[in-house]
Amino acid sequence: MANKKVSPLTDTEIKSAKPKEKKYTLSDGNGLQLLIKPDGKKIWEIRYTIDGKPKTTTAGTYPDTPLATQKKIDENGNEIIIIGARAKRDEFKAKVSSGIDPIQEKKEIKEIIKLDEVKSEAYTAGQFHKVAYAWFDTLTENADSTRAKRKASFESDIFPYLCEYDENHVIISSKHISEITHSELLKILLIKEAYAPVVAVKRFNDCNRLWRYAINHGHTEINTADKITSDAFKKHEAKHFPKITDEKILGEMLRGIDSYKGEGGVIVKNVLRFVALLPLRADNLCKLKWESVDFENAIITIPRSEMKIKDKNLPDFSIPLPHQAVSILKEIKEITGWGKWVFHGVRNNKTHVNLESGNKALRMMGFNDEVSGRKQTLHSFRGTYGSLARTHQPVHNATFEAMERVLDHQEGSKVVRAYTHKADYTEQMRELLQWWADYLDEVKSKKCLTDYERENV
């Protein structure tokens, strides 16, 4: 019996087709049919057979996909072509005739597009600047100010050679970290070495860590920085911070601090008075909080996480207060005790004082001449204490360990640290720091000879 001939559908028939309790189809012939669902939705379906297996796929919904291909004019006056269901059917049938399964082809295209998207996302994530910023976020061993300097150094010394910027100097993209060559990275570091050799070596070490991070996160398989050996850089002598140790100049500086009335006023004055007595690192000094001060026991305790050495096996840093330091704290508490910081900002009393405020005051007082031994910074007070405490060890009789603990200097070996970190030097430090404060009072009160004058008397 011959197959019943199917009459092609018309738009009128399609529009007038009403939904029923169950879904049903209207055939247009040659495998194209319209599925009408109970909710009224009308979906084009194409039926075909390939490799002896009947299959059905969708080809859009009506009226978004019309029966026949149409030409329309959009709101901008442009002609647009809307491919009709019959044209899609004909395209499908042509592929089937060529041995291509349209459904399988569509799946493969989707997989290729998805794979391309994944590759694109992976490439974007592996761009040098993105990997670098991700690595910066993982750093926890340094103070915020140190991490900020490292980030700024990368942005000024390395990024410009590997990144593309827009007119506002915002990074658009950068070279993928896996594509950066040994010679390319070395050239960048040697440019920096030409005028800042110490910084160049630091960035070299940072790059080594950055590339290891990139390997661990699947952005590259080769540590390009590791191919650069340390002998690629010139040897340089370590330069220590200048410090005042001459008693006459030291006394002059201490008297100058006591009479200081310059920028920053009483805040900066007491920062300098305090650090002379208690040689804290500049960052710990400026960020000292009232919650760290124990007046009853005359001691300051700073969480280990806020110290330069952040070994979790070490106790928090505690340092006893000589009575002169207690007096300074009580004096400044009248001014800043309402807030969080012992030394609040000069212009913004809701943040801590900037370390440059103290350095600037020292320069303004004339202690900025390294050649004549008259240069001092906030950090230099640690060197002043260290040198003079060792010089006068026969007087105060403190142990080497106690002198080092005042500076929070720890054993370089983690193994040794594991055995010594529980040793308590508090009382030795208390006696040592009281001697130090009394010694500074003596130096400040008397007219001392300079080293040169002493040698030539």
Instruction: Report the helix count and the strand count for the chain, using DSSP H and E.
Output: 19, 13
pLDDT, tens only, 47-68: 888 888 888 888 888 988 888 8
Domain made up of 128-232: CATH architecture? Orthogonal Bundle (1.10)
Q: Which of 252, 219, 223 is nearest to 376 (CA)?
A: 252
> Tens of pLDDT along the chain (457 residues)?
445 577 888 888 888 889 999 999 888 888 899 899 999 899 999 888 888 888 888 888 898 888 888 888 878 878 888 888 888 888 888 888 888 887 777 777 777 666 656 555 556 778 888 889 889 888 875 555 567 778 888 888 888 888 888 888 888 888 888 888 888 989 988 888 887 888 888 888 899 999 999 899 888 888 988 888 877 777 665 555 688 889 999 999 999 999 999 888 999 999 999 999 999 999 999 999 999 999 999 999 999 888 888 777 788 999 999 999 999 999 999 999 999 999 998 888 889 998 889 999 999 999 988 878 888 999 999 999 999 999 999 899 988 888 999 998 875 444 434 444 455 788 999 999 999 999 999 999 875 544 434 444 4
Residues 328-387 pLDDT 10s = 999 999 999 999 999 998 888 889 998 889 999 999 999 988 878 888 999 999 999 999
Tell me phi and psi for residue 142, to 5 degrees.
-120, 165
pLDDT attached to residue 454: 45
For residues 182 and 158, what is the distance between their CA atoms, to the nearest angstrom? 14
Superfamily of domain 247-455: Intergrase catalytic core (1.10.443.10)
Let me know: does 135 contact 213? Beta carbons within 8 Å.
Answer: yes
Strand ranges, E, within 373-449 = 374-375
* Burial track 391-401 (b if 16+ CB lie within 10 A, e otherwise): eeeeebebeee
- Read off the pTM: 0.52
- Cα–Cα distance for residue pair 408/317, rounded to 1 Å: 7
pLDDT tens-digit series, residues 123-177: 677 888 888 988 988 887 555 556 777 888 888 888 888 888 888 888 888 888 8
∠ CA 383-384-385 to the nearest 5 degrees?
90
DSSP letter (8 states) at residue 306: G
Whole-number Å distance between alpha carbons of 353 and 348: 8
Phi-psi region of 169 (alpha: psi -120 to 50; beta: other; left: phi over 0): left
d(CA 423, CA 312) in angstroms, rounded, equals 16
Q: Which residues of 99-127 are buried (b: 16+ CB within 10 A; e: fewer)?
A: eebbeeeeeeeeeeeeeeeeeeeeeeebb
Contact 254, 276 (CB under 8 A): yes
Q: Domain ranges for the chain, please list them.
A: 11-71+82-100, 128-232, 247-455
Q: Which two tokens stand for residue 452?
A: 């040169």
Could you tell me the two tokens for 441? 């009072």
- The confidence score (pLDDT) of residue 171 equals 86
Per-residue buried b or exposed e for 19-36, using 16+ beta carbons within 10 Å of the residue's own CB: eeeeeeeebbeebbbbbb
Report the run of H or E that residue 208 belongs to, with start and end.
helix 197-216
Q: Which CATH class is domain 11-71+82-100?
A: alpha beta
The number of CA neighbours under 13 Å toward the Cβ of 243 is: 17
Question: Cβ of 136: how many Cβ atoms within 10 Å?
Answer: 15
CA–CA dist 127, 243 (Å, integer): 44
Q: Can you state the angle between helices 323-336 and 265-277, rounded to 10 degrees?
A: 160
Which tokens go with 367?
Answer: 């202690």
Q: Are 126 and 177 in contact (CB under 8 A)?
A: yes
